[in-house]
Amino acid sequence: MIAAVDALAAPSPGLIKAWLLVPFAAAFVAVLMPSLARGLVLVSSLITGLVGIGQLLGGSPLELDLLGALGVSLRLDGMAGWFLLLNGLLVSAVVLEGWMRPPVPLRSMLLLVLQGGLTVSCVATDLVSLYVTLELVGIAAFLLIVLPQSDNTLWIGLRYLLLSNTAMGLYLIGAALVYVQQDSFRMAALAGLPFGAPQVFLLIGLFSKAGLFLGGLWLPRTHAEAPPEISALLSGVVVTGGAVPLLRLAEVDQALLSPIRWVGMASAVLGVVYALSDGDAKRLLAWSTLSQMGLVVLSPLSGGAMALAHGLAKGALFLSARQFTTRQLHSWAASALSPLALGVLWIASLSIAGLPPFAGYAAKKQLDSVLPEPWGLMVLLVSVGTVAVYARLWSVGLQVKPPAPGALPVAWCQWLAFGLLLVPLVLGAEALAPTWKPGIGLITTALVLAAGLLLQRWLRPGQPLPVLERLDQLLGGVVVLGAGLLAGFAGGL
């Protein structure tokens, strides 16, 4: 037992290599022995989550160079810890939630591959390993989307893979340009490079992957139309595959922080505006993901906590979307939810809206404390918008739907699944912000809440906003963003 704790706190290189292989080996076994498959996902998630906790509790960071100086370079540190914990919790919750339903063939195998890919993308610090693992994540996510084989998911999946591969092609051009100038594919090689075409190509690839401004506008429709448990994964962890490298790049090269912040803020605002005007509950959640991912990339110091708080809450909301009686928001206030779905809705949405005592509140306070002044104010305005967005869902009140005659009681595995996601949200605030004191922060939060509620009252459905999600618009958006970044930042803004 003590040896195991030691191994988590100060992992040896051999153990790390073995750990990175676990999900892929488990995926192989899962295909050969389908009866073990879901158990294997749980075991792999447990290991991933434990390694994440080990790093968060102050485990020693580890750098690893495989195959020499030009080979694969990995870094396991506190930053990766947040995302590993999120990955472990969310994937196991998805498996547990569906435990009582007949298994979808091959889904467990794909979950394991997805988990393995995301794990590597959290720790990879060279551009080529990152490319390979992000493509792997893209393929696994695509297959998870299309597995139900309805006509609509086929198109949504195809669109996702087409865009993701195009974005990664541009990313690869960026990687080649970096190599020509620095003779290295490491992220650290970017540090000495003046901002120009190489960085722009890398960034637009990663922005698309992380579901950020313009390149990432594939997100709302994809997340809204995929099956609920896959939406939970997409919104909770798949987008973090693109966000971690952005945070790492911002850490390595200060010059990249400014364009990443502007794009993050643009997504945060755009997401809130569209979430306020959309009439569909799942699309509202998806737009809110776009907005929250924008907040995640604002600072490498708070990105992990924001992503964890958001991923757990959004994952729980999407998982409970199966129990929504209606997705139409105009009849939302008259609908009623089962007690479980109602609890999930309130806890998770209060946390994303940044209200105490939930983890989202602590994460937002941490973000506030690390941002320079004008940014802090903008985040505050986005928070008002976020409160207004979720106030639209709060209109359901506390009406509990009476259980249908003959309905089964909620199974233990469902309690466990939502418990895994919500308990950290309720208890996590203390761990996230140990120095937090009540006072001025609480007053700001109360004002934000009041302003948000007023905004939601005052808004009336008006002109529909332009649709930005057609395939040609998405591809065009990538070009516009790239040109904008070059013009705006290469001059040394």
Partner 1 sequence: MSAIRLLELLILVSALAGFLGLLLRRNLFLKVLAMDVMGTAVVALFVLFAARSGLRSPILRELPAAAALADPIPQGVILTAIVIGLSIQALLLVVMTQLARLDPSLDVESFDGGSAG
**Contact residues for partner 1, defined by CB under 8 A:** 70, 128, 131-132, 135, 138-139, 142-143, 146, 149, 151-152, 154-155, 157-159, 161-162, 165-166, 169, 172-173, 176, 179-180, 185, 221, 225, 467, 469-472, 475-476, 479
Closer residue to partner 1 (CB): 26 or 134: 134
Closer residue to partner 1 (CB): 162 or 381: 162
Closer residue to partner 1 (CB): 172 or 454: 172
**Three-state DSSP state, 459:** coil
> What minimum distance in Å lies between the beta carbon of 173 and partner 1?
6
> What minimum distance in Å lies between the beta carbon of 139 and partner 1?
7
Closer residue to partner 1 (CB): 170 or 367: 170
| Residue 168 token pair | 């990664």
List helix spans (H) across 147-280: 151-182, 197-210, 219-225, 228-233, 240-252, 254-277
Residue 296 near residue 307, CB atoms below 8 Å: yes
Report which residue type is found at 416.
L
Q: For residue 62, which phi and psi values (nearest 5 degrees)?
A: -135, 130
**Three-state DSSP state, 287:** helix
Q: What gap in Å lies between CA 48 and CA 69, rounded to an integer?
A: 27
Closer residue to partner 1 (CB): 80 or 141: 141
> What minimum distance in Å lies between the beta carbon of 286 and partner 1?
14
> What minimum distance in Å lies between the beta carbon of 163 and partner 1?
10
> What minimum distance in Å lies between the beta carbon of 171 and partner 1?
10
Q: What gap in Å lies between CA 416 and CA 61, rounded to an integer?
A: 31
> What minimum distance in Å lies between the beta carbon of 70 and partner 1?
5
> What minimum distance in Å lies between the beta carbon of 215 and partner 1?
13
Distance of CA 16 to the CA centre of its chain: 24
Work out whether strand 62-66 and strand 72-76 pair parallel, antiparallel, or are unpaired.
Answer: antiparallel
Distance of CA 345 to the CA centre of its chain: 18
Closer residue to partner 1 (CB): 147 or 296: 147
- Percent helix, strand and coil across the chain, each to the nearest 5: 75, 5, 25
Q: What gap in Å lies between CA 254 and CA 191, rounded to an integer?
A: 8
For residue 67, what are the contacts with CB-CB under 8 A and spacing of at least 6? none
Closer residue to partner 1 (CB): 162 or 266: 162
